[in-house]
Amino acid sequence: MSRPLGFLRFCSVGIAGAGGLGSNCAVALARSGVGRLVIADFDRVSRGNLNRQAFFCDQVGMKKVDALKENLRRMAPDTEVTALDVRLTAESVLSVFSTCPVVVEALDSAEAKQMIVEVFLEERPQTWIVAASGLAGYGRNQTLHTRRSGRLIICGDESSEVSPDLPPLAPRVGIVAHMQANVVLELLLDEPALADQCVESRK
């Protein structure tokens, strides 16, 4: 049986990365009523980010986590945002998201993506990981899908790589980010074992 939407206010979700995927996913989750977001990123907003990330022109140069926290406060003031200006490593990622039963992988590099997935699957297998793979270019909606393997869920087409001919553009980046957010809501509201984890994480 699904939990009521109001249950989301008791939930904590980690977001690894505050770029195109992470910033848009965070907006969707906050607007849906998730009670707490833990967002980690070390980068600054650049003008080149504005074509697909949830930032504004006057935020160019700001730390992404600070700019995103500011924007989320204006959109969804009831969502508590923990913004961490940190580069995630295999040594730090578990402690950064220690209170989050669900973590969204929204990183840019293939190495960083692989790192976070492997660390959680090996060292904290009770945590759900919602990752992204394949979102470059435009069109081809029919290729986007969600695939579940244990507690790892992957959103995207799992094949298209960013290149000069296939840059990351707002439509497909946004679709995949919202697919990730939608999966997170499904887990929080429908997955039986997550209820106790969510309540415990907010104590």
Q: What total of structural domains would you count in the chain?
A: 1
pLDDT digits (tens, 9 = 90+) for 34-52: 999 999 999 999 999 999 9
> Span 69-76, mean pLDDT?
98
**What pLDDT, on a 0 to 100 scale, did the predictor assign at position 62?**
98
Assess whether pLDDT exceeds 80 at residue 133: yes
**What pLDDT, on a 0 to 100 scale, did the predictor assign at position 193?**
81
**What pLDDT, on a 0 to 100 scale, did the predictor assign at position 202?**
63
CATH code at position 40: 3.40.50.720
pTM (2 d.p.): 0.95
Position 144 confidence tier, pLDDT thresholds 50, 70, 90: very high
DSSP readout, the chain?
-PPPGGGGGG-EEEEE--SHHHHHHHHHHHHHT-SEEEEEE--B--GGGGGTSS--GGGTTSBHHHHHHHHHHHH-TTSEEEEEE----TTTHHHHTTT-SEEEE--SSHHHHHHHHHHHHHH-TTSEEEEE----BS--GGG-EEEEETTEEEEE-S-----SSS-B-HHHHHHHHHHHHHHHHHHHHH-TTHHHHHHHHT-
Q: Which domain holds residue 123?
A: 5-201
